[in-house]
Structure 1
Amino acid sequence: MNIEIWITYLSATFIYSVIPGSGTINTINNGMVYGFSKSLISIIGLQLGLAFYIILIGMGLGVLVSQSLMAFIVIKWVGVAYLIWLGIQKFQETTTINSTDILVETSEWKLFRKAVFVNLTNPKTVIFFAALLPQFLDATSSHYLQIIQMGATTIIVDTCVMLIYVILAAKLAYYIRSPMVLKRLNRIFGTMFIGCGALLASAKA
Structure 2
Amino acid sequence: MFDIQNYASFIAAILVFQAVPGAGTIAILDATARDGRSAGMAAVLGTLAGDCLFMLAAAAGLAALLQAQPLAFQGLQWFGAAYLCWLGVQLLRSQPGGAGAEPARAQTAGVYFRRAFMVSLTNPKVILFFVAFFPLFLKPGASGTTLALMMLHVTVLSLAYQAALVLVGNLVAVRLKAFPGARRLAIRIAGVALVGLGGRLAAGIR
TM-score (norm 1): 0.87
CA positional deviation for 1:65: 2.3
Which stretch shifts more, 12-21 or 195-204?
A: 195-204
> Matches of 1:65 and 1:52 in 2, distance apart?
16
Residue 36 of structure 1 deviates from its aligned partner by 1.0
| Aligned counterpart, 1:90 | 91
- Counterpart in 2 of 1:61? 62
Between the aligned partners of 2:78 and 2:127, the Cα distance in structure 1 is 15
Alignment of 1:114 onto 2:118:
no
In the TM superposition, what is the alpha-carbon distance from 1:97 to its structure 2 partner?
8.4
Percentage of identical aligned residues: 26
Check the 8 A contact 1:28/1:169 in 2, yes or no.
Answer: yes
Matched residues in 2 for 1:164 and 1:192: separation?
A: 21
Quote the Cα distance in structure 2 between the aligned partners of 1:189 and 1:155: 25
Superposed CA offset, 1:111-152 (max 9, x none) = 11111111111233232234433332223431x211111111
Q: CA RMSD in A?
A: 2.3
Deviation by residue 1:49-76 (Cα, 9 ceiling, x = unmatched): 1001100011111231255222223212
Q: Is the 8 A contact 2:46 2:114 kept in 1?
A: yes
What is the TM-score normalised by the length of structure 2? Answer: 0.87
Q: In 2, are the aligned partners of 1:62 and 1:126 still within 8 Å (CA)?
A: no
Contact 1:31 1:170 in 2 (8 A): yes
Aligned to 2:36: 35
* 1:63-82 superposed matches below 5 A: 63-82=64-83
Q: Which runs of 5 or more residues in structure 2 are unaligned?
A: none
SS at the partner of 1:106? coil
Q: Which residue number in structure 1 is paired with residue 172 of structure 2?
A: 172
Alpha-carbon deviation of 1:159?
1.4
CA distance 1:128–1:66, change in 2 (3 Å): farther
2:12 & 2:98 partners in 1: Cα distance? 38
Alpha-carbon offset, residue 92 of structure 1: 2.1
Distance 1:163 1:149, change over 3 A: same
Deviation at 1:194, TM superposition (A): 0.6
Q: Deviation of residue 95 (structure 1)?
A: 2.8
Deviation at 1:3, TM superposition (A): 8.4
| Aligned positions of 1:1-205 closer than 5 A | 1=2, 5-96=6-97, 104-142=105-143, 144-176=144-176, 177-204=178-205
After superposition, the Cα gap between the structure-2 partners of 1:35 and 1:83, relative to the gap in structure 1 and judged at 3 Å, is: same
Inter-partner Cα distance in structure 1 for 2:124 and 2:78: 10
Check the 8 A contact 2:24/2:47 in 1, yes or no. Answer: yes
Dislocated runs of 4+, deviation >3 Å: 2-8
Give me the whole-angstrom Cα distance separating, in 1, the residues matched to 2:66 and 2:156.
Answer: 25
